[in-house]
Structure 1
Amino acid sequence: MRDRKLWIGAFVTVLTGFVALVFQGGWEWVQGKLSDPPGLTAYSSGLIGCNPRYLDAPLAELHKQIKTIDHRGVHIPTADDWPSLPVTLQTSTPQAIVVTGVKVSVLSTRPLPEHGSVVDAECGGGMDERPFDVDLTADPVSVKPSVERTGQGKVIQGHDFPFKVASGDPEQFTFNIRNVAQDARFAITFSWVSDGEPGSTRLDNDGHGYRVMNLPKNLPRYSKGEVGRGKPAS
């Protein structure tokens, strides 16, 4: 009987230690999960801009598609008009994330198309932004804060990274695609740090990349009014 009590006591002691060890490890795991740095969420609705667009269709087809033409086509940067990619950064917790930099990667390039049409866009209004100029012809791709000049000749240099982002303090960035050599697709990756832990967030349009191209030299070019009429102005 005494041996049985000793055996039960030893078993309870071992079991208690095991449970304590498991609980401690589990709590450390829970604490680790709770203390993991919050991720950075990046959202973009896609390229926008008052710039020409390439469409893989002749004028007769474009006339039939006039109601949807403003939401289609490949953006073409020119000296006066260039496409922009607006990106909103935010996080779901009050804990601030420091966004330390951004990298633009060219995913693919190919020759300019030899068939289709170029249509000029109609301009709209502007918005507040953190503007950056992107040069896809540079290697590596150049991403620099935009320089603005006022009517009085004053030069305003845009702010560069880092930026602080929190749930109540999101940031709006705009990447102006000013230079592109061919028909290209690109992605944007943000680097950030939260609670001493580094991370990165990538925008690549669901793996398709964001597509832009240089102005094709030998394709017909129409205004929006000409597309609406279905024939070039005489």
Structure 2
Amino acid sequence: MVTGIKVTVLPDETLPKDGDGPSPEKCESATHGPVFDVDIAQKVPSVAPSAGNAEPDRTDFPFTVSAGHPQQLTLRMNPGKRDARFSLKVEWVADGKYGSATLDNGDGRDPGHGYRVTGCKGPQCPDAAPMS
């Protein structure tokens, strides 16, 4: 049973100049399974079921997975108007024991440098609260 995901925001990078980053069209994809929106523009990042994922597909924590019923989790990252790096900690319970795994782009022996997601800047971007 997956009980939650915690997001750690790492130091920001400088946003690329307009036109240097990926376009939103290149980031869109069809998703199946649990979809969560992650707002890393907040001081304390939130992970919440995506309001855009219609019932009965909307899933919240905790939810059950097993070898016979695996789930592909989709996290839609919202960095606001930032170039953000982050790591994830997935927490679960199996056979009555608690566990977790940190996903930080490392190789399992050494910590990684996190993952990176770039927001947009300019008048076409929705307002997002800057992280302070």
- Same fold, TM exceeding 0.5? yes
Q: What is aligned with 2:3?
A: 100
TM-score for both structures, normalised by structure 2: 0.72
Q: In structure 2, what is the Cα distance between the partners aligned to 1:126 and 1:213?
A: 20
Tell me if 1:165 matches 2:68. no
8 Å contact from structure 1 (residues 136, 181) kept in 2: no
Residue 73 of structure 2 aligns to a residue whose secondary structure is strand
Task: Tell me by how many angstroms 1:109 deviates.
Answer: 0.9
- 1:101-140 CA-partner distances (Å, limit 9, x unpaired): 1111112213323587245345876231210001011121
Q: 1:185 to 1:126 in 2, by over 3 A?
A: same
Counterpart AA for 1:181 = K
Distance 1:187 1:123 in 2: 19
- Stretches of 4+ aligned residues off by more than 4 angstroms: 121-125
**Which residue among 116, 128, 133 is the counterpart of 2:32?**
128
- Give the conservation status (yes or no) of the 8 Å contact 2:31–2:74: no
**Equivalent residues in 2 for 1:44-83, closer than 5 Å:** none
1:177 to 58, 70, 77: 77
- In the other structure, the counterpart of 1:147 is 51
1:160 maps to amino acid: D
Change (3 A) 1:144 1:117: same
Once the two structures are superposed, residues 24-50 of structure 1 have per-residue CA deviations (whole angstroms, 9 ceiling, x without a partner) of xxxxxxxxxxxxxxxxxxxxxxxxxxx
Which structure carries more helix by proportion? 1
Q: 2:120 aligns with which of 201, 208, 215?
A: 215
| AA of the residue aligned to 2:83 | D
Matched with 1:204 is 104
Residues 191-229 of structure 1 show CA distances to partners (whole Å, capped at 9, x for unaligned) of 111222211012111212111122244xxxxxxxxxxxx
The alignment of Structure 1 onto Structure 2 pairs a total of residues equal to: 115
Identity among equivalent positions (%) equals: 41
TM-score scaled to structure 1, two decimals?
0.43
Distance 1:131 1:209 in 2: 21
Contact 1:135 1:143 survives alignment (8 Å): yes
- Partners of 2:46 and 2:37 lie apart in 1 by 8
Gaps of 5+ in 1: 1-97, 150-154, 218-234
